[in-house]
């Protein structure tokens, strides 16, 4: 998974500041991007470019390791060998994506430790969708199918961005995600075509997850604060509304063809424009959840804090590989 299309603001809502960059270098930089070249770690880049990329890649990395938690809790309950193995492999991949992305962000000058600290302190955000619980096995199939699908829409777009290390990480991530999507879709279909109880499970899960999925790509373009500059610099590659529309176009028919319903009576495609119409999701709720008011925000961070705190002695020992110790040899 899991990067949503939305780059969260810093908590203090500081607007993006235009620091003064050397105009000649800036022009060269923008020309290189316009010509389709990638920017590499040693290259000159505007401060805002660096800051925005760090923020975006860091949020994406956090989303991977936090995103492992709602599904991870179902590894021990996955029904049958096939699902159990697929789920462990999938969640393991997500942690691996986190590792790749932290490495990519580090090339911009922020250490993994600093990023993790900012996650734990609440300074740095992660995809909002993981602040909701996975209540049943069917939720795991909905996440594996639809949230992964949504993330792929965003990540395929971002893989064409301008920053080399991020693009290369995303290419590999997208390749693995396409397998996740297949396993999620397979498990989802198994329930949708299964017993009446299984069908009900998956319908209930869809109803629970529909709003978070609609939130996934972020607020509509007309209210989104992020600027043309990010598009010009190829930091952000597609607008929230475009990505949401692309997702609906690809996946709503797949849900409907299984005879399942979605909890929005206004959801339909306007054949004239090719755009999907839908009820406006509750954006106040979205902001409330981002700011800590979701059902699982506290729990997610608590688990990460547990992992960090109980692993501290190990990291400390690793930092000190050449410590002169005398061993009691019996």
Partner 1 sequence: MLSQQAIISLLTKMGDDALIIGHRNSEWTGLGPIMEEDIAFSSMAQDKIGHAWALYRVMQEHLGGQDPDQFAFMRAEKEMRSCHFVELPIGEYDFSLMRHFLFDHAEAVRYESLENTAFEPLQPFAKKFKGEIKYHLLHADEWVLQLSRGSEESYARMQQALLHCMPLALGIFETSKAHEQTLIDEKIYPGEQALQARWLDRIYPVLSKAGLNLPGIESFTPVYGGREGYHTAYLQPLLDEMSSVFKLDPTATW
In the complex, which residues of this chain contact partner 1 (CB under 8 A)?
65, 68-69, 72, 75-81, 83-85, 88-89, 91-92, 95-96, 98-99, 102, 137, 187, 190-191, 194-195, 197-198, 303, 306-307, 310-318, 320-321, 323, 325, 327-330
For the residues of 254-293, what is the DSSP string, one character each? HHHTTT---S-TT-EEETTTTEEE-PPP-HHHHHHIIIII
Query: Would you call the peptide bond into 2 cis, given omega within 30 degrees of 0 as the criterion?
Result: yes
Nearer to partner 1 (CB atom), residue 20 or residue 323: 323
Nearer to partner 1 (CB atom), residue 78 or residue 147: 78
Q: How far is the CB of 114 from partner 1 (least distance, A)?
A: 15
Phi and psi at 105, nearest 5°, equal -65, -35
Q: How far is the CB of 316 from partner 1 (least distance, A)?
A: 6
Nearer to partner 1 (CB atom), residue 112 or residue 229: 112
130 burial level (CB within 10 Å; 0-12, 13-18, 19+)? buried
Long-range contacts of 257-262 (CB under 8 A, 24+ apart): 258/189, 258/192, 258/193, 259/192, 260/192, 260/199, 260/202, 260/203, 260/206, 261/203, 261/206, 262/206, 262/210
Nearer to partner 1 (CB atom), residue 95 or residue 262: 95
Q: What share of the chain is helix, strand, coil (3-state, %, to 5)?
A: 65, 0, 35
Q: Which residue has the tokens 């609440």?
A: 122
Give me 85's structure tokens. Answer: 């193995």
Nearer to partner 1 (CB atom), residue 24 or residue 323: 323
Nearer to partner 1 (CB atom), residue 65 or residue 152: 65
Q: How far is the CB of 154 from partner 1 (least distance, A)?
A: 22
Q: Measured over all CA atoms, what is the biggest interatomic distance in the chain, rounded to whole angstroms?
A: 83
Q: How far is the CB of 15 from partner 1 (least distance, A)?
A: 33
Q: How far is the CB of 238 from partner 1 (least distance, A)?
A: 29
Nearer to partner 1 (CB atom), residue 17 or residue 320: 320
Q: How far is the CB of 21 from partner 1 (least distance, A)?
A: 34
Q: How far is the CB of 28 from partner 1 (least distance, A)?
A: 37
Q: Round to whole Å and give the CA distance between 206 and 213.
A: 10
Q: Round to whole Å and give the CA distance between 177 and 309.
A: 30
Q: How far is the CB of 98 from partner 1 (least distance, A)?
A: 6
Nearer to partner 1 (CB atom), residue 232 or residue 305: 305
Helices (H), 143-282: 148-158, 164-192, 196-215, 228-232, 240-256
Q: In sequence order, which residues have a C-beta less than 8 Å from that of residue 269 and are 6 or more positions away?
A: 248, 249, 252, 275, 276, 277
């Amino acid at each position: 998974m899991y990067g949503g299309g939305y780059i969260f603001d810093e908590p203090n809502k500081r607007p993006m500041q235009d620091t003064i960059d050397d105009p000649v270098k800036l022009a060269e930089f923008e020309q290189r991007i316009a010509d389709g070249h990638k920017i590499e770690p040693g290259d000159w880049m505007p401060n805002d470019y660096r800051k925005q990329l760090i923020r975006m890649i860091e949020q994406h990395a956090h989303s991977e390791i936090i995103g492992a938690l709602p599904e991870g809790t179902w590894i021990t309950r996955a029904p049958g060998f096939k699902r159990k193995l697929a789920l462990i492999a999938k969640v393991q991949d997500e942690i691996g994506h986190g590792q790749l992305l932290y490495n990519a962000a580090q090339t911009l000058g922020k250490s993994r430790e600093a990023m993790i600290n900012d996650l734990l302190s609440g300074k740095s955000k992660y995809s909002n969708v993981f602040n909701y619980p996975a209540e049943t096995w069917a939720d795991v199939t909905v996440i594996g199918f639809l949230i992964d699908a949504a993330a792929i829409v965003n990540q395929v777009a971002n893989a064409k961005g301008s920053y080399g290390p991020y693009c290369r990480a995303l290419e590999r991530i997208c390749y693995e995600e396409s397998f996740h999507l297949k396993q999620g879709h397979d498990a989802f279909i198994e329930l949708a075509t299964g017993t009446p109880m299984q069908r009900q499970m998956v319908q209930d899960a869809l109803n629970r997850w529909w709003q978070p999925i609609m939130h996934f790509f972020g607020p509509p373009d007309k209210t989104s604060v992020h600027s043309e500059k990010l598009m010009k610099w190829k930091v952000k590659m597609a607008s929230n509304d475009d990505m949401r529309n692309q997702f609906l176009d690809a996946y709503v028919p797949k849900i409907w063809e299984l005879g399942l319903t979605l909890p929005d009576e206004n959801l339909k495609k306007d054949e004239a424009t090719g755009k999907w119409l839908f009820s406006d999701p509750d954006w106040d709720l979205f902001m409330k959840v981002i700011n800590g008011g979701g059902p699982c925000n506290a729990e997610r961070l608590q688990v990460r804090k547990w992992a960090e705190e109980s692993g501290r002695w190990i990291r400390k020992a690793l930092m000190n590989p050449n410590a002169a110790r005398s061993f009691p040899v019996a």
